Amino acid sequence: MEKKLSICFISPYLPKSFGGGEKYLLDCAALLASQHQVYVAVPKQSRPRTKQQLNEIKLEYAQFLNKDLTKVEFIDSPFFSDSSFWKRLKFTQQFDVIYYQTDGSLFFSLAKKNILHIQIPFAINKNTFFDRVKLWNWQIINTNSYFTKKVIEKWWQVKVNFVHQPMIDFPAQDKFVKEKIILNVGRFFTHLHAKRQDVLITTFIDMLKKFPSQTMGWKLVLIGKVEDEVYLDKLVSLAKNYPIYFYHHLTKQEVNQYYQKTSIYWHGAGFEINELQNPEKVEHFGIATAEAMSYGCVPVVVGKGGQLEVLGEKLSQFLWQTPEECQQKTIELISDPKLLAQSANIARLQAKNFDGRTFNQILLSMIGSN
């Protein structure tokens, strides 16, 4: 009988962030929890959280993902708190596997196996003696995209053992009634790989003015949690009096319902960014784009970073660099229902690359369970 492992997932972004990185980490945890004892570490507060408080955090993520996390245990941890080095080291000793989603920082672990997941293409040198010793402690290094892998291998001077692209929950349904909707899903913030809803709004408004007959009845829908209220206020003011709608508290099922009726998916992360100079500011992978594609939404997105591998060769014609290109490609789709329908089918086929089969195989290979 296969040994049951104790596996602990650690992320500096929990429990505050609700994005693609958190979906990735908890997808890993949920998959492994069917065979092993899986824990998700949450940074300690000034006083330990109660079991109920930890379960409330778990429930919030379960609802965000629309995923069963019953078998995953959320626990307090000394990481990303004022706990000492020795307490953190002792904490790691109790696990067979530590799976760390890094924010660029590294730590020592005494677990039997240590796996480092890098989801942000940090263009920072890791060449100090202390950094090299820390990196040596991590037996397996993986990234969320080939784009991130290329940046990390160049800057960190390490070998990335696996590219572990996020998975999507591929819909069983294959026929959708589409409406005149252009959609974007992403958190509202201005740091790092900002989703640039401001660019999408101005591009949409300009498109309405330039092509009034073609765009009649079309609307732009922006969905995402708010992390910057000032930024959101500016966007709402910019969108005033136009068919542009904002939603910030939808469940995963409600987001999926929008995917079902959306015709075109827009994404602006990386606009006007030099990805060689600032790779961390472009889309690292693009899980929302992949999700939209699985529902037959045609992606018209900035052609940088991980978005290229999400779309693949057959959809590369819909990558853009300027608002004018975005408008031109969108109008082409709107004006040609046959092209829109054909491209939607191609998008669904391409999205199958991220439906979970390869994700599961690579994860089990890294853990050593197969």
Q: What is the dihedral of CA 14, 97, 144, 66, to 10 degrees?
A: -50
Domains 6-167+356-367 and 181-354 share a fold: yes
Question: What pLDDT does residue 16 have?
Answer: 87
Question: What pLDDT does residue 55 have?
Answer: 94
Q: If DSSP codes are grouped into helix, strand and coil, which group holds residue 106?
A: coil
Sign of the Cα pseudo-torsion (291, 367, 279, 192, in order): positive
Provide the token pair at 92: 């790691």
At 251-298, the pLDDT tens digits run 999 999 999 999 999 999 999 999 999 999 999 999 999 999 999 999
6-167+356-367 under CATH 3.40.1260.10, yes or no: no
Question: What pLDDT does residue 1 have?
Answer: 44
Question: What pLDDT does residue 2 have?
Answer: 63
Three-state secondary structure string covering 141-199: EEECCHHHHHHHHHHHCCCCCEECCCCCCCCCCCCCCCCCEEEEECCECCCCCCCCHHH
Beta bridge partner(s), residue 182: 220, 264
Question: What pLDDT does residue 214 have?
Answer: 97
Closest CA to 101 of 180, 8, 31: 8
Taking 70 as the pLDDT cut, the residues of the chain under it are 1-2, 369-370
In whole angstroms, what is the distance from residue 245 CA to residue 230 CA?
17
Distances (CA, A) of 213 to 31, 154, 208, 334: 49, 49, 9, 11
Beta bridge partner(s), residue 41: 10, 75
Kind of pairing between the strands at 181-185 and 219-223: parallel
Question: What pLDDT does residue 370 have?
Answer: 45
In whole angstroms, what is the distance from residue 340 CA to residue 327 CA?
15
Question: What pLDDT does residue 48 have?
Answer: 84
Q: For the chain, give every domain's residue range.
A: 6-167+356-367, 181-354
First to last CA, the chain: 12
CATH topology of domain 181-354: Rossmann fold (3.40.50)
| Residues 79 and 88 sit within 8 Å (Cβ to Cβ) | yes
In whole angstroms, what is the distance from residue 288 CA to residue 187 CA?
11
